[in-house]
Amino acid sequence: MPRLSGRLVVASHNAGKVREIGALLAPLGVEAISAGELGLPEPEETETTFVGNAALKARAAAEASGLPALSDDSGLEVFALGGDPGVYSARWAGPNRDFAAAMRRVWDELQRGGGDLSARFVCVLALAQPGGSVETFEGEARGQIVWPPRGDKGFGYDPIFRADGQTLTFGEMSHDEKLPLTHRARAFEKLLAALK
């Protein structure tokens, strides 16, 4: 059973992600600090699964800082594309993080694929303790790919993803509308349940 108190390293250099995770942890009385604030290097994501990459990042931050560390690895899986872009979701956007091009690539490849537009966002959270244990928690949000992209809220592939039971894409929803439906919120529910 994981335990948390005091300070925790969020194994990310993404200020927005650190803020979001910090807000989710605040009710537990945990102070979230980012790997970037501590000057920790970002490890190369060499694993081929969300679980593997999340664990790699959390373990590296825990060992470098001597504090518990929490990381997240997430992406979009399109079933007709064999789960792509999957763990390579950010890489499909290239070094300049051009998600307009990445969304176009998803759509272009789907046009060759036979009509199944079902997809899911996946998030794996990994909680690592200095010196060893790593526990992971997975959440998903299932839905459909839509075209053309809709909405300028959110980030990444949000404008082409409509969650099951919704009429708006994640890109059209406010943060407060979207958050409870997300893969990250569902993974956090599992983490928080384990901490209680």
Among candidate residues 73, 108, 152, 164, the one labeled active-site is 73
DSSP string, 91-160: HHTTTTT-HHHHHHHHHHHHHTTTS--EEEEEEEEEEE-TTS-EEEEEEEEEEEE-SS---SSS-TTGGG
The CA-based dihedral angle spanning residues 139, 196, 194, 126, taken in that order and rounded to the nearest 10 degrees: 70
**Annotation says 73 is catalytic:** yes
Which structure tokens are listed for 77?
């899986």
Catalytic positions: 73
